[in-house]
Structure 1
Amino acid sequence: MPRLILKCPYLKSGTEKVAAHLSNLITYMATRSGVEKLSKGNSNLPSTVNQEELIKQIIKEFPGSKNLFEYEDYIENKTIENASEFITISLEQNLDKIGQRKNYVDYIANRPRVERMGPHGLFTGGDDEIVLSRIAEEVANHTGNVWIPIISLRREDSISTGYDIAESWHNMLSYFAPEIAASMKIPIQNFRWYAAFHNESHHPHVHMVCYSVNHADGYLTKKGIEKMKSGLVKNIFKNEMQIIYAEQTQRRDQLKEESKGVFVKLISEMKSDAVQNPKIEELLLHLSERLKHTKGKKVYGYLQPNLKVIVDEIADELSKEEKVAEAYELWYEMREEVLHSYMDTLPERLLLSQQKEFKSIKNMIIAEADKIAKGIVDLEKLDNAEAERFNDNLIETDEIEIMESSSAFEYEPIVDELEDEPDFENHYVFVKWTDEYKQARDYLFGTDDILQDFEKALKLFITEAERGNVLATFDIGRIYADGLGVEKNPDKANNHYVKALAGFQEVESIKAWKYTEYRIGKMFATGLGTEKNYQKAAQWFDLSADKKYKYAQYSLGALYHRGQGVEQDFQTAFALYLKSAKQGFPYADYEVAKMYRDGVGTDKDEMKSNQHFQKAFRGLEHLEKTSHDDKIQYRLGWMLQNGIGTEIDIARAKEYFEKSAKMGNTFSGYALAKLILKEENPSKEEVQKAIKFLKSVAEDDCNDFNSIRPLASYALGKIYLEGKCVAKDINQAVLFLMKSAKENNQWASYQLGKLFLQGNEITKDTDKAVFYLTKAAEQGNQFAQYILGKMYLLGKDVLRDKELAIKWLTKSAEQGNEYAKFFLDNLDKLSQPSFLFSKWFRI
């Protein structure tokens, strides 16, 4: 677990002794060198009696020194070296208390191992040269308080994070200085700071001097110190903390889910008179009775204090339930890991009711109590809310799977990389990256020096194709397929793809060549210029892969991974991906990373997975700089959006998506549209652009977009249904949801089923509702299965059919649907109309 130690003493001004001490302190921090070091032969000997006596005195006078890394080292191994390290750093970290002692100035003036950044080791923000004598005088004569923070790391942490050199500290502290100023309550324009890095053997540390030019400024509290320390941890250990925060979020969500599950179970127990926790039942009914006479918003923040006490008590009783208690323990473990990174002493654990992060649990309790107060437990409303949450999560998951496996990621290698190019003399067709072809590609994709110009690109491709260059023929097909500067024309595109495939095969007949074998395989795999045929694709890829061609190894690995044209074999897929990755193909690194992550075809290995993801990202960045390929731009954008192999950077992701979308990349356009529509306050122009693109995909019946079209249609349906970014339009919503449902999007069918069943915004139509809900249910949608099961069980809107009810409720319950489980557990009671109106509940 990452950890640093921060001490932040301060020196008061106003005496000659302190002024002299401050002057010496600046000189010490900048120039401490020359002290004779312990010889290696003596350093591991047991600590001396004098050292041990001095350490006892230090601990007595400064008990906080027990929290230092050096004290931990000394206790673990009481050697001369460890004792010396502890004595030195403990005196340094308490210099606010001993600064005026007689020999201290002599002691600090000769301290060794400062890392110099010029004539001395002192630095501040920016690159201006520091005149040591001037700064020493300025600090010594300062009339206000001077803070002297000391930041210490373990040696292994300083090396792993790169903070074992002064330059890293200089860069980070320059960036972090405004937060230090804010913690000290000093306006940034008045804030001054200087620092020096001391490269100690076990625990490198930084000394700082901080003050305000206005002597009246500055006030550092315990909370301010914690804020500084927390910020330093986040900056220095950003990669480690990102993983911890993600895990903490996951555990928080798990606790919320477990709490909700227990409540659903409790409600069902109350219905069946089989309550296992009478205390919660008693409190919940008491709260519900009180809420009957409560006006205003019924959420925790608006309740009277006496009602909040009841809610808190229910939350704390809930936290004693086994599953909730386990989830709370797991969450707290991760929280304390974070706290321990910047706090010496962990605070006492709080009850669940006192944790601000879990206010939603208390609001859930209030909502349930309010429903009881009204005589209603509305399972319909509860399961709708659950379905929406699940829906959004699943759609995101589906999109990730589509994007990860999508041919939108594919990249055509440059033939210049090959060494065994055939001799094309006297042949009317050839495959060659001629200067003319390269220029056409430059106009197609755009470069740093050449503006993108589809018209010029097409003219050059046509000229080159007429000379017999098969590569140009293929790219003309792509231009007409994607409508790059021309109207989309699938027939023209196909004609050129057919010619390109024939050309590649002709070149292959001249000489068996791994590049043409690979390109022919790709065309069979994607169905360009021919019927899609994975078996033939695998045969061609196999020929090329045998010649150790990394692109063919990767593509053949993909077929084995998906079981297309060959028998699915994850181990073979992994081996092929790995061979390709070792030759430097970043796409293969990406797949290797996924397989290590998921434990598919190999053992799970998170560290190797992260390494390959990072290598893939770096490799793709390099490829994009040279090729400006839209497929690479799309994958880079997607990785930046999702934090795969790099940190999340939405702004950069959008830039890559924009570039790629200009090349007609449908996946990039879709991703860009989704990002825009997720923004809190997107501009009208951005929203119009996003919706225009989604419509262009949803309404284009000419091209097969490999599952993007139904997703685009569904996104439009939801937009018009919710009316968030555009005026609500139920007719448009239904139109696009029907288009999506027609292409087997289960969530579109589910939404349509609910709309026709409820009859709130469109005319109720039970037949259509059952049709769409059944379609979604057959595709595995647990919420459609649940609604159908409930309808057939209760005979609501359809004839009662217990057999059908059990069928759909069972399928839903098998996917973890708590509401379906409740109905299955109470089949006999729920089949009796009298049960529908109990003392407290209505279903």
Structure 2
Amino acid sequence: MARLILKSPYIKSTGGASGYLRYIATRERVELIPDDRPPTRKQEQLIAKLVKDFPDSKTLYEYEDYLTKPTKVNASAFITLALEANWDAIHESDQYMKYIATRPRAERIGAHGLFGDEETVSLEKSMEELERYTGNVWTHIISLKREDAVRLGFDNAAAWQNLIRAHRNDIAAAMKIPPGDFRWYAAFHDEGEHPHIHLMAWSAKPGQAYLSKEGIRQIKSKLTNDIFRNEMLHLYEQKSESRDELVRQARRAMLELVRTMQDSVCDHPDAERLMLELAAQLGTVKGKKSYGYLPKRLKNLVDEIVDEMERLPAVSKCYDQWLLLQGKVAAYYHDKPQERIPLSQQKEFRQIKNAVIQEAERLRLGEIGFEEKGLNQQDEPEEYRNASYDYWTLRDEIRDESLTMEERGEAVSEMEKLAESGDMYAQYLMGKLWRDGPLLIPNSANARYWFEQAAEQEHIVAQYSLAKLYLSDDVEVRDIRQGMNWLYTAAVNGSSYAMYRLAKELLKGDLIKRNSDAAVEWFTRSAERGNPYAQYMLGKLYLTGKELPCDEERAIHWLTRSAEQGNQYAQYLLNHLEENRPPSAMLAVTRLLHHMSRVFRDNSVPKSRPGGIQIDRKRLKKLQEKRMALGHKLDDHEEQWPNLTM
């Protein structure tokens, strides 16, 4: 629940700003009535008129208190603040002004309570200044609950004076006023259950000031961060364990849902239909195909697709958890719980919309996708033939997590000596340790050296690993010509994974000249050796009629062999053969679900930081990469993420 309310009405140049200044400086301090007598009939009538004339008054804390407990005290508190918040509209109303002049049981405190930039403020001079002023004057009302004001030390004028002086330039900036032109006076009213200040602010140059909703939000944010600074720090520094535990639980639940999304094949015919419709219409769009450049009708279609995806239980629950995480911060700024707007309208997830467009464009162009879940964990099987006893012993010690890091590190040193003696199995393992860590800090140049030593001794998996390293995005070792040469060598020597990767490159045509016939040949050779990814691709090509004549019988044969090895995509296509749904659209929706899982994962940390500090996603990614370079896993204090390439 928010604990600071800010109202920012303004008085027009002819609205009697000097009278308002005198009023806030000298008005009576309401004395609390020590009983729960009901409100008078006149109070009830006046409240009814106020909420009818000024509906925004219903957002005041005092109105909530009055509804909860309709007493004479609460009625008086609400009427007073509602009148003050709407001074410009009521200052000439006899009915309203009569109440202000005659409200009961009041006590004056001092000559006036104004404070400003100066150490002492002259009420007369301040009023004269406003009498001559021809511009608009904003009359901010900033209110706290009594319990918060007392706990945080804002139940006195001095605290508020220091706060406003500290943020006077922030307030000026929010009102589009240069600091040198900013004028303000304020008074603290220690009244009822909601002590508050009245802050009058204007520019020395009439017509210069402008206050938008965003400006009001900025003022409220600055003051909230300062007033509740320690409590905001508690939220992130575990000084409030119950609150932090809720954040941790929400994030764990969210990451588990993300894992489910990553592991799922999406069965959503309605989304498929809309994706096909978008793909067809993208052909009529000239120029850049991103959400901001699309015509309105296509933007609406993209939004509709995102809303359809939100209907999936995993997506909907994940979004709920994200809202819960953000709500822990947002509650300091908003009076009501965060509204659950559709995912398509949530600004934090705009990336999803461009992912929709990206997948629809792939559909339109007929691009072939490669669904390779788990490939990176399976494509480097170790060769055990003829490995020495020393290799086996050291390898087991390196993998034994029950040993200390020092003991495992000593085993790595011994393995390096074995590699230096010419053992190709040790050389291959040293390449992996330098590439992947964690016992060695990853170093691609060292990894390349040891992979080369083993590859030149005809270690087939080392040849494939060396090819992948050369073809990677690591600028230190990237060499496409060398990579393709080693990939071809490994494929010729019998690596089914090298055959599959070579077929992919021939089909895509990004690194070498496209040759679909050669690609099909290598897919077939890999599939015949039992590679489930090649079997799946062959089945999909025969099913869709791309690069090969459509042949359902052969498609079923290869998809079945792949599915028998646990390929969920192959099984998915087999399950829906009779439905005549385009496989490309079915798989596009699945890829979109995986895109969404990554966006949710990247947003699984609340965006705000203590004291207003924020870390954007790019910086967070760099920090993650730096941690990984030092041997850490992507998120080694949370769940581990399966590799997924699409």
TM-score range, shorter chain: 0.5 to 0.7
Native 8 Å contact 2:10 2:88 kept in 1 = yes
* Aligned counterparts of 2:376 and 2:157: Cα–Cα separation in 1: 53
Counterpart check, 1:74 vs 2:66: yes
**Counterpart for residue 9 of structure 1:** 9
Written as runs of structure 1 = structure 2, the 5 A alignment for 1:394-433 is none
**Counterpart for residue 480 of structure 2:** 760
Amino acid at match of 2:197: V
DSSP 3-state at the match of 1:88: helix
Question: Residue 71 of structure 1: CA displacement?
Answer: 1.7
In structure 2, relative to structure 1, the CA distance for the partners of 1:258 and 1:79 (3 Å cut) is same
Written as runs of structure 1 = structure 2, the 5 A alignment for 1:720-731 is 731=445
The match for 1:141 among 103, 109, 132 is 132
Which segment is superposed worse, 210-219 or 244-253?
Answer: 244-253
Written as runs of structure 1 = structure 2, the 5 A alignment for 1:689-704 is none
* Aligned counterparts of 1:96 and 1:264: Cα–Cα separation in 2: 60
Written as runs of structure 1 = structure 2, the 5 A alignment for 1:640-719 is 713-714=441-442, 717=444
Native 8 Å contact 1:8 1:150 kept in 2 = yes
Amino acid at match of 1:90: A
Question: Residue 209 of structure 1: CA displacement?
Answer: 0.9
The match for 2:300 among 306, 309, 323 is 309
User: What is the percentage of aligned positions where both structures have the same residue?
Assistant: 37
Written as runs of structure 1 = structure 2, the 5 A alignment for 1:240-319 is 243=235, 265=264, 268=265, 276-291=267-282, 296-319=287-310
Amino acid at match of 2:483: T
| Cα displacement string for residues 293-314 of structure 1 (whole angstroms, at most 9, x for unaligned residues) | 6554433233344433332221
Native 8 Å contact 1:74 1:83 kept in 2 = yes
**Counterpart for residue 88 of structure 2:** 96
DSSP 3-state at the match of 1:163: coil
| Cα displacement string for residues 399-431 of structure 1 (whole angstroms, at most 9, x for unaligned residues) | xxxxxxxxxxxxxxxxxxxxxxxxxxxxxxxxx
User: What TM-score does the superposition give when structure 2 sets the normalisation length?
Assistant: 0.55
Q: Which runs of 5+ in 2 are unaligned?
A: 237-242, 378-403, 408-436, 453-463, 473-478, 498-522, 536-561, 575-581, 589-645
* Aligned counterparts of 1:251 and 1:176: Cα–Cα separation in 2: 34
Amino acid at match of 1:183: A
Question: Residue 69 of structure 1: CA displacement?
Answer: 1.1
Native 8 Å contact 2:62 2:194 kept in 1 = yes
| Cα displacement string for residues 378-405 of structure 1 (whole angstroms, at most 9, x for unaligned residues) | 336998999xxxxxxxxxxxxxxxxxxx
* Aligned counterparts of 1:290 and 1:382: Cα–Cα separation in 2: 31
Written as runs of structure 1 = structure 2, the 5 A alignment for 1:176-187 is 176-187=167-178
Counterpart check, 1:62 vs 2:54: yes
**Counterpart for residue 615 of structure 2:** none
**Counterpart for residue 87 of structure 1:** 79
**Counterpart for residue 800 of structure 1:** 530
Amino acid at match of 1:760: I
DSSP 3-state at the match of 2:194: coil
DSSP 3-state at the match of 2:360: helix
**Counterpart for residue 171 of structure 1:** 162
* Aligned counterparts of 1:333 and 1:762: Cα–Cα separation in 2: 50
DSSP 3-state at the match of 2:200: strand
* Aligned counterparts of 1:61 and 1:7: Cα–Cα separation in 2: 16
* Aligned counterparts of 2:194 and 2:299: Cα–Cα separation in 1: 48
Question: Residue 72 of structure 1: CA displacement?
Answer: 1.4
In structure 2, relative to structure 1, the CA distance for the partners of 1:186 and 1:36 (3 Å cut) is closer
Counterpart check, 1:825 vs 2:568: yes
Amino acid at match of 1:81: V
Native 8 Å contact 2:291 2:299 kept in 1 = yes
Native 8 Å contact 1:32 1:108 kept in 2 = no
| Cα displacement string for residues 345-381 of structure 1 (whole angstroms, at most 9, x for unaligned residues) | 8897543223332221122222222333343343369
* Aligned counterparts of 2:255 and 2:273: Cα–Cα separation in 1: 22
**Counterpart for residue 634 of structure 2:** none
DSSP 3-state at the match of 1:371: helix
* Aligned counterparts of 2:256 and 2:275: Cα–Cα separation in 1: 19
DSSP 3-state at the match of 1:359: helix
**Counterpart for residue 19 of structure 2:** 21
* Aligned counterparts of 1:108 and 1:194: Cα–Cα separation in 2: 25
Q: Which runs of 5+ in 1 are unaligned?
A: 270-275, 387-524, 532-708, 718-730, 739-749, 774-792, 806-818, 832-837
User: What TM-score does the superposition give when structure 1 sets the normalisation length?
Assistant: 0.43
**Counterpart for residue 371 of structure 1:** 362
Counterpart check, 1:51 vs 2:43: yes
In structure 2, relative to structure 1, the CA distance for the partners of 1:192 and 1:48 (3 Å cut) is same
Amino acid at match of 2:9: P
**Counterpart for residue 320 of structure 1:** 311
* Aligned counterparts of 2:469 and 2:121: Cα–Cα separation in 1: 71
Amino acid at match of 2:6: L
DSSP 3-state at the match of 2:319: helix
Question: Residue 735 of structure 1: CA displacement?
Answer: 6.4
**Counterpart for residue 504 of structure 2:** none
Question: Residue 146 of structure 1: CA displacement?
Answer: 1.5
Native 8 Å contact 1:98 1:104 kept in 2 = no
| Cα displacement string for residues 165-218 of structure 1 (whole angstroms, at most 9, x for unaligned residues) | 434323332333233223333333211112222222411111111111112222
Amino acid at match of 1:328: Y
Aligned-residue CA RMSD in angstroms?
5.6
Question: Residue 79 of structure 1: CA displacement?
Answer: 2.5
In structure 2, relative to structure 1, the CA distance for the partners of 1:350 and 1:188 (3 Å cut) is same
Amino acid at match of 2:121: I
Native 8 Å contact 1:4 1:152 kept in 2 = yes
* Aligned counterparts of 1:57 and 1:826: Cα–Cα separation in 2: 66
Written as runs of structure 1 = structure 2, the 5 A alignment for 1:483-498 is none
In structure 2, relative to structure 1, the CA distance for the partners of 1:14 and 1:362 (3 Å cut) is closer
Q: Quick one: higher RCO (CA 8 Å, sep 6+), 1 or 2?
A: 2
In structure 2, relative to structure 1, the CA distance for the partners of 1:225 and 1:526 (3 Å cut) is closer
* Aligned counterparts of 2:59 and 2:77: Cα–Cα separation in 1: 14
* Aligned counterparts of 2:260 and 2:368: Cα–Cα separation in 1: 15
Counterpart check, 1:353 vs 2:344: yes
DSSP 3-state at the match of 1:217: coil
Native 8 Å contact 1:315 1:353 kept in 2 = yes
The match for 1:211 among 202, 215, 219 is 202
* Aligned counterparts of 1:249 and 1:302: Cα–Cα separation in 2: 38
Counterpart check, 1:123 vs 2:115: yes
